[in-house]
Structure 1
Amino acid sequence: MSTTGTETPTGILVLADGSVFYGRGTGAQGMTTAELCFNTAMTGHQEMLADPSYAGQVICFTFPHIGNVGANEEDEEAASDPARKAAVGMVSRADITPPASWRATSTFDEWLRTRGIIGLTGVDTRALTRHIREHGMPMCAIAHDPNGQFDLDALKAAAAGATPMEGRELAADVTRASEDSWTQAGWSISEGYATGPEEGPHVVVLDYGVKANILRLLADAGARVSVVPGSTSADSVLAHKPDGILVSNGPGDPSATGEYALATLKTLIDSDLPILGICLGHQMLALAIGAKTIKMAQGHHGANHPVKNHESGQVEIVSMNHGFAVDGSSLPANAEETFVSLFDGTNCGFKLTDKPVQAVQHHPEASPGPQDSFGVFKRFVASLKTPAEA
């Protein structure tokens, strides 16, 4: 932001390398440190910031305008109270505009305040995005003070000393505290959210920060859904007598979460029950079968990513949000690559040839994003057999 006249910056972003970006503060006040990433989606800013996978991160929006659709409770992506600890900050080029959508129940800046998200507007987001593309996702400090009082040296020290994402276990912060059933299904403009079925295949979801729309689409596909904390043991999961298991998305380093989750996942894989993994779940299932994960330089964050479906030969445009990836070359012989990114060739999905296990790196539930991959849920639920059918 280039200040003019007597305007005093009320917001600031400081990167670990000492780079400083001034702007106008909005949303919550205070200071926090996090990893900075950019997202290329043009809409769905509320859903992005409410996605638990963004816990411990600040999002720089490459689309310059924000706020014109406001915020509302129907677009909530946190599936539990702990999951509301998602993104901690946002950066945009233009100031937040008043809502112009009939669905809005609050302004976007009001919603930011209620979620404790520090906002910064008036920033040259093109320059910031180029910085991330060239140097990777940095740790940063973001602050908002209506009086514009900032201790620059302290902020630089905070950014430089912030704990990097590698090795961080964040799923425990956003998982639910206890198991529960989920009954909300898909949304329509005239009816709102439908109610899931009372009968049908039973899917148990291991919650590492699951997005609500994953659960809605499972219910929409005909599944009865139970959700359990990510720390739940394999015996407790199997005690629910599920017909299938979903390993959810979530934040942080999969290797760190895997320290307590991999033993559970290995037992569940050995149970021969159908398993579907999404994003962090994809990465941890890969670790459980002996593959490796890697930290990406800038990650994949957007609602416009092309992936090639090797099974159908089709290209799907999908929503993505991940800073770690499965090393496709490390997949064992019994794992077939099913999806690959057409941006950089990274692995975006696999299935086992000797077990009913499949996983995708992208977010087939969108929210925000295109609906090309909704079929992932339909095919998974359709493949499940209830005890009466087995």
Structure 2
Amino acid sequence: MKYQTNRKAIILLADGTIFYGKAVGDKEGTAFGEVCFNTGMTGYQEIFTDPSYYGQLMVTTNAHIGNYGGNNEETESGTVKISGLICRNFSYNYSRTRVDESLQSFLDKNNLFAISDVDTRALVAYIRDNGAMNAVISSDVENIDGLKKQLAEVPDMNGLELASKVSTKEAYYFGDENASYKVAALDLGIKKNILRNMASRDIYVKVFPYDTTFEEMNAWNPDGYFLSNGPGDPDPLKQVIQTTQDILAADKPLFGICLGHQIIALANGISTFKMHHGHRGINHPVMNHTSGKGEITSQNHGFSVNYDEAISNTNLVVTHQHLNDNTVMGLKMKDKACFSVQYHPEAGPGPNDATYLFDEFIGSMKKKTA
């Protein structure tokens, strides 16, 4: 078993600010991406494998990462999707009954560079004050000028299309083919736990590549359609927006999560914008305006729907709002069986306050097939 060594490493932010740490496992490496932070106290493996984090350097605010090892069942996609890990204390020792390997072994298999011994409280405070920005983490601590030049060439997340990087290349099925309902899911970076939640509710899912047309999906004759979560800016996804408009024009049941929520807004003429530093964690408070109840939710997004445009749109109702900053967390169309949420009702990790949304999706399909 490897233990922490003294190989120095740095975090260089796009504005020139530098934070210091040590390379995990004495590994040499360099990784680029948008630096962001997640406040979850658990669920690091699910976070690292969530396709929505593609191209991002993840700062974990929990002080201990790796202390419960890794489990093969706790992944949200086939590979690690973050571009690099930044943490305070990396635990080489781990303890849990259900464990398959150490986190270091898991990260090594996925060729992920990570640094520890970082003052993550100071780094997170800096991101909160100055906003999410591109950064590089590296063990090449003597090559600051060279790293700055490489960092300057990394594209900004604003305007960046990334769904194509994580979407399936070929359609595939999930669940029981004899289930009561068939759902066509557009894979913009779908998490496994979304599919598990649908399959457990008697839904058979066919997952399509991100650029599939409505006509191609409709040929399968599904009872409903789903737009998944995913990384990057929603605005460049013109084909996906057109497909969504075609689904709505055909008056088919439609449910969207996260990036899918933003796509539904864009399909209705509501713009989106890049947030200052986004929402990423498993304890975000949301108000459900329909039920009047609060929900503790899992969130992971750096873009949001324009609130003023949403409330003035005559075709839509804002059903959910974030209690910290009043951003739009849910939309529902008045004359269509279409609704969406910005957060993650499937959790993975996180609480299960919002799993009822999958049942509402089934309800919308029942009405259409009755």
Which position in structure 2 is the counterpart of 1:203? Answer: 183
Query: Closer, same or farther in 2 for the Cα pair 1:85/1:101, shift >3 Å?
Result: closer
Contact 1:88–1:116 (CA under 8 A) maintained in structure 2: no
* 1:179-198 → structure 2 map (5 Å cutoff): 179-183=171-175, 196=176, 198=178
What is the CA distance between 1:70 and its match in structure 2?
A: 0.7
Alignment pair present for 1:216 and 2:196: yes
User: Secondary structure of the residue that 2:264 maps to in structure 1?
Assistant: helix
Which position in structure 1 is the counterpart of 2:244? Answer: 265
* 1:300-319 → structure 2 map (5 Å cutoff): 300-319=279-298
* 1:235-384 → structure 2 map (5 Å cutoff): 235-256=215-236, 258-331=237-310, 332-384=313-365
Which position in structure 2 is the counterpart of 1:186? Answer: none
Alignment pair present for 1:156 and 2:148: yes
Deviations 1:33-62 (A, max 9, x none): 100001100000000010000001011011
Counterpart of 1:347, as a letter, is V
**Structure 2-normalised TM-score?**
0.94
**Structure 1-normalised TM-score?**
0.90
What is the CA distance between 1:98 and its match in structure 2?
A: 1.6
Deviations 1:186-215 (A, max 9, x none): xxxxxxxxxx57221111110000000001
Q: Partners of 2:232 and 2:181 in 1: how far apart?
A: 31
What is the CA distance between 1:259 and its match in structure 2?
A: 2.1
Contact 2:164–2:210 (CA under 8 A) maintained in structure 1: yes
Query: Closer, same or farther in 2 for the Cα pair 1:85/1:47, shift >3 Å?
Result: closer
1:177 pairs with 154, 169, 182, which one? Answer: 169
Give percent identity, aligned residues only: 40
User: Secondary structure of the residue that 1:383 maps to in structure 2?
Assistant: helix
1:101 pairs with 96, 105, 124, which one? Answer: 96
Q: Partners of 2:65 and 2:233 in 1: how far apart?
A: 29
What is the CA distance between 1:329 and its match in structure 2?
A: 1.3
User: Secondary structure of the residue that 2:11 maps to in structure 1?
Assistant: strand
* 1:16-165 → structure 2 map (5 Å cutoff): 16-26=14-24, 29-78=28-77, 81=78, 84=79, 86-144=81-139, 150-165=142-157
What is the CA distance between 1:351 and its match in structure 2?
A: 0.3
What is the CA distance between 1:29 and its match in structure 2?
A: 4.3
Contact 2:69–2:102 (CA under 8 A) maintained in structure 1: yes
User: Secondary structure of the residue that 1:162 maps to in structure 2?
Assistant: coil
Aligned residue pairs, count = 363
What is the CA distance between 1:97 and its match in structure 2?
A: 3.5
Query: Closer, same or farther in 2 for the Cα pair 1:150/1:104, shift >3 Å?
Result: farther
Contact 2:48–2:80 (CA under 8 A) maintained in structure 1: no
Of the structure 1 ranges 274-283 and 324-333, higher mean CA displacement relative to structure 2 is found in: 324-333
Contact 1:68–1:100 (CA under 8 A) maintained in structure 2: yes
Contact 1:197–1:219 (CA under 8 A) maintained in structure 2: no
Deviations 1:52-83 (A, max 9, x none): 000010110111111111111101101xx5xx
What is the CA distance between 1:383 and its match in structure 2?
A: 2.8
Q: Partners of 2:151 and 2:131 in 1: how far apart?
A: 15
Aligned Cα root-mean-square deviation (Å): 1.6
Counterpart of 2:157, as a letter, is M
Counterpart of 1:340, as a letter, is Q
Unaligned runs of 5+ in 1: 1-6, 184-195
Counterpart of 1:117, as a letter, is L
Which position in structure 2 is the counterpart of 1:10? Answer: 8
